Amino acid sequence: MSVSEKGASPIAGRQQLSPSANAKIVSVEACTVRAPLDHPTSFATREVLWRDYGLVRLRTDDGAEGIGFCYGGSAAGGLVARAVRDLFAPLLIGESPYRVEGLWQAMYDEALLHGRAGSVMRALSIIDIALWDRNARAAGLPLWKYLGNFHGRRVPAYASGGYYLDGKSPEDLGAELKGYVSLGFKAVKMKVGRLDPAGEEARIKAARGAIGDDVLLMLDANNAWSDLPTALRYMERYEPYDPYWIEEPFSPDDIDNHARLAQRTRVPVATGEIEAGRWRFKELLERQAAAVLQADAAVCGGITEFKRIAATAASYGVTLCPHWFHDLHIHLVAATPNARFVEFFVDDQVLNFRNLIDAQLEYENGDLLLPNRPGLGFNFVSASIDKWAVDAWS
């Protein structure tokens, strides 16, 4: 697949300026975009009609810029932009963009009374991403190279899909996943947990039959279960089809049941996509509640905190497979020794963030090819943002 680019970007032009080692931050702007899905799409616990994205752009006095972004949910996504504007931006004006660790701590301390997770931490995360992006662009390097490449010029990916749609049969699901395999992917993921055990087994059986025995099959329950007996009843149905992992079986706060399930099933437990801060991940590790951590840099505290989480997990011999936003996490997986897979969406039917940016990743034989453009390797498309903006840049 080839890179797709949509028009000229104002950021791309400004990056031709000579960056200054003494640069100071002069503006931090945020906006909210509500991007509709083409079709109502469901997973175990709810239906999604649109996605709210929180966006940030940060500029320094030498003309260099960086961008950040996160998923703000399907309601009240503007809370992220408000936290950027009201809570964090005033702390950053006049500061050096290279003081990333110090600015992270200043923002975290300022947020103590407002929230160390959720929308406030997502706001901190996307500012942190923008700082790293700005600094990599100023250095003229792709972010993966600026962070310190480990995995070479490509990283493994799994094709993520298998959502519930009205009228979608188990055979339709199998055909969808087989389509990903035909594109070269050696690992695929599907949703589970919405139907009764027999209904879910029919879906998984069709999926395994369609993709064959040699393709990895990940299962994502999206917090579907509230007690261990229910989870075990489903897992007894799933285990014969050799799942690679069971993702988010319980509420993210129910670490006890994650640990109990991990002890009772041979299927590795994966979780962490909604977690924020290294301390919660350390608790998951200490209690052996997950064999795979799915930290999302746009949720957990940005690239700075993702690096800390990865280093902590490495001490426990635990792998990271970050959640969502392949355009961001390709860089982090490439630079993280104990990271394995990027979660990849081949089209815009679920992760429609791709409609807001001007370049798409290339893939080949189940791997994503690392981009060569500076920083994150893409810019926002102004026309798309203007079309779906809930609030303007400010």
Task: Please tell me the predicted confidence (pLDDT) of residue 13.
Answer: 41
pLDDT in tens, 207-248: 999 999 999 999 999 999 999 999 999 999 999 999 999 999
Residues 307 and 357 in one domain: yes
Same domain, 211 and 237: yes
Query: Which among 79, 87, 92, 86 has a CA at the least distance from the CA of 128?
Result: 92
Interior angle at CA 93, CA 89 and CA 95, nearest 5? 120
Residue 283, pLDDT score? 97
Of 121, 134, 140, the closest CA to residue 275 belongs to 121
pLDDT at 6 over 60: no
| Secondary structure of 285-317 as H, E, C letters | HHCCCCCEECCCCCCCCHHHHHHHHHHHHHHCC
Q: Where are the alpha helices (DSSP H) in 213-253?
A: 228-238
Q: Are residues 95 and 180 in the same domain?
A: no
Same domain, 242 and 112: no
Among 151, 191, 307, 331, the active-site one is 191
**What is the SS3 assignment for 83?**
helix
Residue range 41-67, pLDDT digits in tens: 888 888 899 999 999 999 999 999 999
CATH number (domain holding residue 308)? 3.20.20.120
Q: Flag whether pLDDT at 380 surpasses 80.
A: yes
Residue 203 inside a domain? The answer is: yes
The answer as to whether 84 is a domain residue is: yes
Does residue 149 share a domain with residue 97? no
Interval 95-125: pLDDT, tens: 999 999 999 999 999 999 998 999 999 999 9
Q: Are 260 and 280 in a shared domain?
A: yes
* CATH number of domain containing 55: 3.30.390.10
- Of the candidates 254, 222, 219, 250, the one whose C-alpha atom is nearest the C-alpha of residue 237 is 219
- Domain of 327 in residue numbering reads as 144-369
Classified as helix, coil or strand, 68 is strand
Based on the residue annotation, tell me whether 323 is a catalytic residue of this protein: yes
Alpha-carbon span 119 to 122, nearest angstrom: 5
Number of domain units in the chain: 2
Does 67 fall in a domain? Answer: yes
Residue 55 and residue 94 in contact, taking contact as beta carbons nearer than 8 Å: no
Average pLDDT over residues 169-182: 98
Residue 17 near residue 62, CB atoms below 8 Å: yes
Judge contact between 281 and 312, C-beta under 8 A.
yes
The three-class DSSP label of residue 374 is: coil
Quick check: is 172 in a domain?
yes
Please state whether the predicted TM-score (pTM) of the whole model is above 0.85. yes
b/e per residue 260-290 (b: at least 16 CB within 10 A):
bbbeebebbbbbbbbbbbbebbbebbeeebb
Tokens at residue 72, please? Answer: 């703000």
* Average pLDDT of the chain, as a whole number: 94
Active site residue 114: no
- Given 151, 258, 307, 323, which residue is catalytic? 323
